[in-house]
Chains A and B, each alone.
Chain A
Amino acid sequence: MGQIILGVGDFGASNNPDDEIKTFALGSCVSVIFLDPKTRSIGMAHVALPDSTINKAKAAEKPGYFADTAIPALLAQMAELGCDKRGKGIIVKLCGGANVMDTNDTFQIGKRNALSIKKILWSYGMGAIAEDLGGNYSRTVSISISAGQVTLSSPGKPHWQL
Chain B
Amino acid sequence: MVKKINPDELEKIVASIPMISASASRLLQITAQPDHELMDVVNLVKTDANLTARVLKVVNSAAYGLVSKITSVDRAVSYLGEQVVVSIAIENCAGELLGKELAGYEAAGGELWKHDLRAAIAAREVVIQSGADMSPDLAFTAGLLHDIGKALISDYLRGTAPEAVEMISSHDSLDYLAAEEKLVGVDHTIAGYALAQAWQLPEELAMAIRYHHEPAQAEEIYRPLVYAVHLGDSIAMMGGYGTGSDSMRYKLDANYADYIQINANILANVMLTVDTEFDKLSESLSDSGEKS
Q: Which residues of A pack against B, CB within 8 Å?
A: 8-9, 24-29, 48-51, 54-55, 58, 65, 98-107, 109-110, 112, 135-138, 154-157
Contacts and interface: CB of A to CB of B under 8 A. Distances in A.
Contact of A112 (B165, B234, B241, B264): B264
Contacts of B265: 54
Contact of A107 (B106, B244, B245, B267): B267
Contact of B275 (A8, A26, A135, A137): A8
B182 interface: no
Interface residues of B, number: 36
6 contacts: A27-B248, A101-B248, A106-B263, A107-B267, A109-B267, A157-B162
Given A98-B248, A101-B249, A107-B252, 7 more contacts: A25-B242, A27-B239, A101-B251, A106-B263, A106-B264, A109-B271, A138-B240
The A interface is mostly helix, strand or loop, or mixed, namely: loop
A136 B175 CA distance: 10
Contacts of B162: 156-157
A104 B161 contact: no
Nearest to A51: B268
Interface of B: 105-107, 161-162, 164-165, 168, 175, 234, 237-242, 244-245, 247-254, 262-265, 267-269, 271-272, 275
B238 A110 contact: yes
A26 B262 CA distance: 23
A88 to B, nearest CB: 32
Given A48-B275, A136-B249, A155 B244 contact: yes
Nearest to B248: A136
Given A102-B251, A102-B252, A155 B269 contact: no
Contacts of A28: 238-239
Nearest to A50: B268
In the A-B complex, list the 6 residue pairs whose CB atoms are closest, starting with the nearest: A156-B161, A156-B245, A156-B165, A155-B106, A155-B245, A28-B238
